[in-house]
């Protein structure tokens, strides 16, 4: 914990003064253009891997970068998506999975989660991805996990389209969807090409989008 406190003190003494004008503007308003949905995994830092400043990204993080389909009892993710699209007017939504994802590993390996019933219930929102991935042949456990990570991104993109605010914005042509998979070891990102239905290197195809 001391390292966290020391980090804040360094921020207050060094980083904050360098961005004082930025924080002055952010003190009363925000205008992010991107809703970035990713995993809670400590190794995935959206602002770091996209090199964005405070105020640039509106971020949702949870186990497995999951977006439950819209339903009669909306939760925190649903409310945050709605706020980002309807109130903040974001122009892009990124759903970003990552390598070595613990949540996807549990699903792909059919791990027993009886001791974590809340986690087990949450991961049911990835059942569509689980079914598709299980129906395919995989050469190894690693290939099965990699496939699960990608299918989950696809499934969560389908889920987010069920949200009324998202459906309306897509219909009006004012919202773009992106599906990414970040590789922790190499620092690379693969992006879903919605038209071709495959993941391609974002560095080679920077205009790629899912929808």
| CA R_g for the chain | 18
74 pLDDT tier (thresholds 50, 70, 90): confident
Mean pLDDT of 18-31: 96
Q: Does 76 share its domain with 10?
A: no
Q: Which of 41, 96, 146, 150 is catalytic?
A: 41
Q: Report d(CA 80, CA 56) in Å as an integer.
A: 16
Which of 98, 144, 150, 163 is flagged as catalytic? 98
Quick one: pLDDT at residue 138?
85
* pLDDT over threshold 90, residue 182: yes
How many domains does the chain contain in total?
2
Answer yes or no: do 112 and 162 share one domain.
yes
CATH number at residue 108: 3.40.1050.10
Residue 73 reports pLDDT greater than 90: no
On whether both 88 and 102 belong to a single domain, the answer is yes
Residue 107, SS3?
helix
Residue with the larger pLDDT of the pair 80 and 211: 80
Strand partners, 34: 57, 92
| pLDDT tens digits, 29-43 | 999 999 999 999 999
In whole numbers, what is the pLDDT of the chain averaged over residues? 96
Residue 207 within a domain? no
Q: Which domain holds residue 131?
A: 31-201
- Candidate list 14, 19, 24, 43, residue with the active-site label: 43
Q: Does the active-site annotation cover 39?
A: yes
- Residue 179 and residue 191: Cα distance in Å, rounded? 6
Residues whose CB is less than 8 angstroms from the CB of residue 12 and which lie 6 or more positions away in sequence, other chains included: none
Residue 65: predicted pLDDT: 98
């Amino acid at each position: 914990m001391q390292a966290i406190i020391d980090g804040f003190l360094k921020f207050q003494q060094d980083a904050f003064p360098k961005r004082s004008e930025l924080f002055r503007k952010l003190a009363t308003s925000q205008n992010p253009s991107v809703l970035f949905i990713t995993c809670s995994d400590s190794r995935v830092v959206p602002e770091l891997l996209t090199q964005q400043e405070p105020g640039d990204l509106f971020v949702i993080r949870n186990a497995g970068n999951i977006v439950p389909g819209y339903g009669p009892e909306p939760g925190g993710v649903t409310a945050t998506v709605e706020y980002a699209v309807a109130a903040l007017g974001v122009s892009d939504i990124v759903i970003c999975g990552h390598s070595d994802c613990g949540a996807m590993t549990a699903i792909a390996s059919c791990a027993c989660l009886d001791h974590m019933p809340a986690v087990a219930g949450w991961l049911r929102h990835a059942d569509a991805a689980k079914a598709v991935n299980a129906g395919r042949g995989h050469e190894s456990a690693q290939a099965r996990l990699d496939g699960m990570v990608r299918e989950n991104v696809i499934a969560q993109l389908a889920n987010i389209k069920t949200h009324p605010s998202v459906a309306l914005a897509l219909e009006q042509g004012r919202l773009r969807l992106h599906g990414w998979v970040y590789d922790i070891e190499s620092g690379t990102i693969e992006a879903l090409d919605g038209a071709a239905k495959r993941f391609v290197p974002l560095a080679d195809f920077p205009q790629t989008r899912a929808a």
